[in-house]
């Protein structure tokens, strides 16, 4: 049994190294966005409480940071909790918020964040989150506000339609105040008021969704117009470096023509 396990691990390692060489030889996506799906199903299939799936998923996010730093991906946006998720069981939501607070506290002193100058931002209707979590998020954002080497975004209490509505509302208020003329509103104007406006590269080159589902579920509706999509049949807690490499290799093999 042990020999069999070691053999599988050996093959896995060789395949990972082969993929790594291929990906490294190509141009990596500048902005990767990931829909972290499958935490609850992962837990259910192992007869565990749902929040243990979320806990394991949060641990995978920590590993992902290392992988993206290794690959030199400048912008990473993670869909972690949607506005629709507030309709879930209250006990599950409470546990998700607890895990999030714990992880943001850890990010505050994470040497990888400060050594690599990673700008951490939460995008979404954060006013819907518990006050203590809002404070923790504000602490992390304040501590990393001047970092510009890489960007790590958490879409939390996020909805793509909500983002567009919020941007439209701000623009409408500015029109009402006489700060913007209606005829001057362009796509570039609208993008200035999206949640992702703090980044030079708002549009993801590649969007990955785990768990086998093949839809965006409202994620980055405006920004994803020309994104390449990769749907992986693996639950987020089981997501591995090899899965990320495979998705990037697929992206690199695609011909991006942008309508030409």
d(CA 153, CA 245): 20
CA 27 to chain centre: 20
| CB within 8 Å of 178: residues ≥ 6 apart | none
d(CA 192, CA 211): 33
251-254 long-range contacts (CB < 8 A, ≥24 apart) are 251/29, 251/205, 251/206, 252/23, 252/26, 252/27, 252/28, 254/228
CB 207 within 8 A of CB 33: yes
Q: How far is CA 189 from CA 61, 172, 177, 193, 222, in A?
A: 33, 12, 16, 7, 13
Question: Catalytic residue at 37?
Answer: yes
Question: Catalytic residue at 132?
Answer: no
CA 206 to chain centre: 11
Q: Which of 86, 29, 98, 96 is nearest to 247 (CA)?
A: 29
Q: Among the options 85, 116, 139, 166, which is catalytic?
A: 85
d(CA 46, CA 238): 12
Residues annotated as part of the active site: 37, 85
């Amino acid at each position: 049994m042990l020999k069999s396990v070691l053999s599988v691990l050996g093959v896995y390692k060789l395949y990972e190294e082969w993929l790594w060489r291929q990906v490294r030889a190509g141009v990596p996506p500048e902005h990767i966005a990931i829909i972290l799906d499958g935490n609850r199903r992962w837990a259910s299939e192992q007869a565990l409480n749902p929040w243990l799936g979320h806990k394991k998923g949060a641990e995978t996010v920590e590993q992902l940071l290392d992988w993206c730093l290794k690959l030199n991906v400048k912008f990473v946006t993670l869909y972690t909790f949607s506005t629709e998720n507030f309709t879930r069981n209250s006990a599950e939501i409470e546990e998700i918020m607890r895990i999030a607070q714990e992880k943001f506290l850890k990010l505050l002193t994470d040497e990888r964040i400060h050594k690599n100058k990673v700008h951490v931002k939460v995008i979404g209707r954060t006013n819907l989150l518990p006050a203590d979590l809002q404070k923790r998020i504000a602490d992390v954002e304040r501590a990393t506000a001047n970092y510009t080497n890489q960007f790590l975004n958490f879409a939390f209490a996020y909805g793509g339609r909500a983002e567009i509505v919020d941007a439209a509302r701000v623009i409408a208020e500015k029109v009402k105040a006489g700060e913007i003329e209606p005829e001057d509103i362009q796509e570039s104007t609208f993008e200035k008021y999206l949640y992702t406006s703090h980044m030079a590269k708002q549009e993801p080159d590649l969007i990955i969704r785990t768990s086998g589902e093949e839809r965006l579920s409202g994620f980055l509706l405006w920004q994803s117009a020309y994104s390449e999509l990769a749907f992986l049949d693996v639950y987020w807690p089981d997501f591995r470096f090899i899965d990320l490499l495979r998705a990037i290799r697929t992206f690199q093999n695609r011909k991006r023509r942008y309508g030409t």
